[in-house]
Amino acid sequence: MSGRQLPIIVALGTTQTLAWASSYYLPAILADPIGRDLGVSSNWIFGAFSASLVISALLGPRVGRQIDLVGGRSVLSASNLTLAAVIGFARAEEGGTKMRITPLTPWGSPIGDGFSIPCAGSRCRGPWRLNVSGVPYRFEVMALFAPGRAIIALEPVPNESGRVIFLSQNARDPIVLPTDRRGAASKTVALTEVSEAETRSVIKHPVLRVGTFGRIRIDVVGPQSE
């Protein structure tokens, strides 16, 4: 190996290591947290990754012919630029409006990693699941950011057995969090079932009466104040 080849080999090896480490091997580490944030099983994440491998196999012959025509340098550069653009876009989205719900123990310790609610612009909306005595319950979380505050509601969705927990923190009595100049706010909220819940909703399903049954911490980051 000559001295002229060493820089090329080092550069190629470094870029290949970074490219594979930041793409192919990431699902093994990120599948579980991605599944928790999206509210799906990690099996779906691995299934999507397997589908991407099938797509890669189908595109392989076309990419190979392109490499034969123009050389590998431009194709590799284009793929790395595309990957960098995707990571940059994801990073930009992460720095925007955010909302996270973390279940807490009676002593205030987090239970698990919490759930991220999808956000776009000044609104956040998405599913959230809660287990009570081993029974799963679902809610549609809605948040609207206004100047200096965030308005949050937890609306019930019937689970597989048709049971619903109606909370006082719904659209009629939402949680209002004052936000600071950075648009951030955090608050611990007690989950309390409303009285006569069946008269406050058009959903005709049995109501599980549990009273005050837990606490959650809501963390939001909205538009910054002027």
179 and 112 in a common domain: yes
Q: Is 152 a residue whose pLDDT tops 90? A: yes
- Here the CATH number for the domain that contains residue 162 is 2.40.128
Let me know whether 211 and 116 are in one domain: yes
| pTM attached to this predicted model | 0.56
**Does 83 share its domain with 145?**
no
Instruction: Give 198 or 76, the one with higher predicted confidence.
Output: 76
Q: Where are the alpha helices (DSSP H) in the chain?
A: 5-21, 27-38, 42-70, 72-94
Give me the amino acid identity at 23: S
More confident residue, 210 or 215: 215
pLDDT greater than 80 at residue 126: yes
Max mean pLDDT among 36-45, 106-115, 151-160 falls in: 151-160
Tokens of 14: 């470094």
Q: Quote the domain boundaries for residue 25.
A: 5-94
The pair of structure tokens assigned to 150 is: 């965030």
Q: How confident is the model at residue 163 (pLDDT cuts 50, 70, 90)?
A: confident
Residue at 207: amino acid letter: V
- Write down the mean pLDDT value for the chain: 79
Q: Are 69 and 113 part of one and the same domain? A: no
Q: How many residues does the chain have?
A: 226
DSSP string, 118-184: PEETTEEEEEEEEEETTEEEEEEEEEEEETTEEEEEEEEE--TTS-B--BSSSTTS-EEEE--TTSE
Sheet of strand 175-178: strand arrangement? 119-120, 123-132, 135-146, 149-157, 175-178
The number of folded domains in the chain is 2
Question: 133-151 burial by CB neighbour count: b if 16+ within 10 A, else e?
Answer: eeeebbbbbbbebeebebe
